[in-house]
Structure 1
Amino acid sequence: MRVLCDVHVAYRLVSRLRDIGVDATHVNRILDGSKTTDTAIAAYVDENEMLLITKDGDFRDSHFLRGTPKLLLRLVLGNVSNDELVTLIKSFWPEIAKASQGDRCYLELSRNGLFRVPSIS
């Protein structure tokens, strides 16, 4: 599985995902880095069959209205430490990976757990 972490997701998460065998990168390392537009990010993850991890609600809207990005994990954790973020992602990773195997997937991770919202095909 390949993952792209959006600009406001801690780079530390990329390292921890790599530690568990995930091919992860951060948007700051590709395209125009932190200046990359949401449209370009969505196109990039779709072209490269990646899961986008983001805090940005605009990607949720785009997923449901335009069908892009196809694979999306939105973090709705509020103000959370990097340690807590890493712990939550790692604890739910098997479920995240399984849910992301289809053509389309929208997931939200909060302190209450991981929720899969049906996507429109």
Structure 2
Amino acid sequence: MKLLVDAQLPVRLAELLGDMGHDVIHTSSLPLGNRTPDSVISSFADGERRIVITKDQDFVDGHLLAESPAKLLLVSTGNIQNDDLLALFVVTEQSIAKAFEQADFVEINRDTITTH
């Protein structure tokens, strides 16, 4: 998968997903870094056909109203330790990939993966 990890998620998540074989960019590596506006992140992700991974509800609104970003993974875990977040992605990475075969909007929490 081609992924773009948003600012409120750790760079370590991008590194982990890269180690799993995915093409991953973290917003910190964009020209404006973690201050990159959501609209620019969405446009960039859409242009490169990347899935935006975020905790930010604004991306959900953009996806539902304007279909941008075109593909979205919403992390709905609430406050979670970084190590627990990484462990969650290790366990669910294959299921997330399969979910995107059927949907453009996927949500993950501590217990379930939901396609929208």
Percent of aligned pairs with the same amino acid: 34
> Where does the alignment leave 5 or more consecutive residues of structure 1 unmatched?
none
Q: Match for residue 54 of structure 1?
A: 54
Q: Are 1:51 and 1:100, in contact at CA under 8 Å, matched by a contact in 2? A: no
TM-score (norm: length of structure 1): 0.90
Q: Distance in 1 between matches of 2:75 and 2:26?
A: 15
Q: Which residue of 2 aligns with 1:109?
A: 108
Deviation at 1:100, TM superposition (A): 2.4
Structure with more strand by fraction: 1
Q: Report the equivalent of 2:5.
A: 5
Shift of 1:101: 4.0
Corresponding residue of 1:67: 67
SS in 2 for 1:97: helix
Shift of 1:92: 1.2
Q: Which letter does structure 1 place at the counterpart of 2:24?
A: A
Alignment length, in residue pairs?
116
1:41 equivalenced with 2:65 (yes/no): no
Q: Secondary structure at the match of 1:77?
A: coil
User: Secondary structure, in 3 states, of the residue corresponding to 1:98?
Assistant: helix
1:78 maps onto 2:96 in alignment: no
Q: Which runs of 5+ in 2 are unaligned?
A: none
AA of the residue aligned to 1:115: T
- Large movers: runs of 4+ above 6 Å: none
> 2: distance between equivalents of 1:69 and 1:99?
17
